[in-house]
Amino acid sequence: MNNGILSHFGMLRPEYDGGMSTSTTLNLPPSGDAGLRHDAQVIGLVGMVHLISHFSQLLLAPLFPWLKEALNATYAELGFLMTIFFVVSCAVQMASGFVVDKFGPRPVLYGGLALIALAAFGFSVSTGYWMMAGFSVVAGIGNGVFHPVDYTLLNRKVSAPRLGHAYSVHGITGSLGWALAPAFVVPIAMAFSWRVALASAGVLVLVVLAVVLLNRDTLHLPVAQAEKSKTSVKDEHPYAFLNIPAVWMCFTFFLLYAISLSVVQAFAPEAARQLHGMPLGLVATCLTVYMVCAAGGMVLGGFLASDPERCERVVGMGFGAAACIALVLGLVDVPGLMVPVLFGLMGFAAGTGGPSRDLIVKRSTPPNSTGRVYGIVYSGLDIGQAIAPLVFGTLMDHHQYTPVFIGLALVQGVLIASAFNVKRVRRTALVPG
């Protein structure tokens, strides 16, 4: 690796690893009580937006039983709608990171929320499969902006001592968004129709957009500072960070994480129903319980992440336990009523690694490249969630329910190995050549 490039990004400086990057200090918040209130407001608003982002990712999956009949589609075809969503989101996420760095996060955020609302209303009036596919593209464009926006705001506007807790809240709200989606759309679909459920989701997104607009001053990041972030290092090439191996290892880690999460969200509850005779009404409950417990695990994970040196160990223990529970669900005959409990335990275990997961990325992020790096790294989430429905949806169509859980456990095992590999390549980069 070119040591000149590394030195440009601070990768050869010992204080860089685990320290606060230059990008974190560009827009220092107030100190004292005012600083606490400022941080809480930023964290709360970003968390609410993150909730809606994850909520939008699960608009369709809980409605698959209705959509399968309404659209006369297979599980693989319905899974392909999610693939479209996440492929588009991936492309947008990589590009939006550069846009956020250049123009600031706030206008990009407005556009993302507006497009998700439009997609939800579009889903509700769709008359065929390909119309749903078209609005999946719109939803993917809207969803693709959120991670570069969120992490740029948190890293630049939240005080360094509270950043670990900011990541924890960010992860919690994301899990709550996933939990909210089935809890919101399924009862409305059962009471009225899937069309009313999706239109109601669109109204909810518009409410959040209104709240963000009313609090726009709190999320203000001057364009001049955003541009300074991009150009503060003399002769820095905007794509030079792509030469850092740790960035790509983080990308791989998030791709694997997304595959495991997508399996849980879209297929694992139904696979568990088929294997263990679980009542149909508990299928959506499994996902909600998983996500709520994952949020609880992230509370604990926020304290565990206070020591950046143990991030990889925390991730390993959390996802190791989750993999063991997945194998129990796939290989052991358990009572149907115990299945939601096991999903809850699996969610809590995975959730403990959430804040440490985000800190792994921060410790590998060059100064002055926040939006770009998070755009690239978190695009792994979209690619993973695009791949998973194609593979695991095919398993579901062929009634291969046990392999769904075995595959889930295997992916989680490889994910653990990739987390430790991020640490290895980061340390290698820190050694002057």
Domain assignment present for residue 18? The answer is no
CATH code of residue 164: 1.20.1250.20
Whether residue 235 is contained in a domain is answered as: no
Residue 100 lies in a domain: yes
Contacts of 86 (CB under 8 A, 6+ apart): 140, 381, 382, 383, 384, 385, 386
The residue segments making up the domain with residue 250 are 30-222+240-429
- Number of domains, the chain: 1
The answer as to whether 229 is a domain residue is: no
Q: Does residue 400 lie in a domain region?
A: yes
pTM > 0.75: yes or no = no
Q: 234 in a domain, yes or no? A: no
- Compute the radius of gyration of the chain from its Cα atoms: 21
Q: Is residue 71 part of a domain?
A: yes
Please say whether the beta carbons of 75 and 393 come within 8 A: yes
Q: Is residue 4 part of a domain?
A: no
Query: What are 98-102's contacts with CB under 8 Å, separation 24+?
Result: 98/238, 98/371, 98/372, 98/375, 99/148, 99/371, 100/145, 100/148, 100/149, 100/152, 100/226, 100/371, 100/375, 101/152, 101/226, 101/229, 101/230, 101/369, 101/370, 101/371, 101/372, 102/226, 102/227, 102/230
- N residues, the chain: 433
How confident is the prediction along the chain (433 residues), in pLDDT tens digits per residue? 343 333 333 333 333 333 333 333 444 455 555 667 878 888 888 889 999 988 988 888 888 888 888 888 887 788 888 888 888 887 887 777 777 777 778 888 898 999 999 999 999 998 889 999 999 999 999 988 887 888 778 877 777 777 767 877 887 888 788 778 888 998 899 889 999 999 999 999 999 999 989 988 877 776 544 444 444 444 455 555 566 666 777 778 888 888 888 898 778 998 999 999 888 777 778 888 898 898 888 888 777 766 667 777 888 888 899 999 999 999 999 998 899 999 999 999 988 887 777 676 666 665 555 566 666 777 777 788 778 878 888 888 888 999 999 999 999 888 887 777 665 555 444 333 3
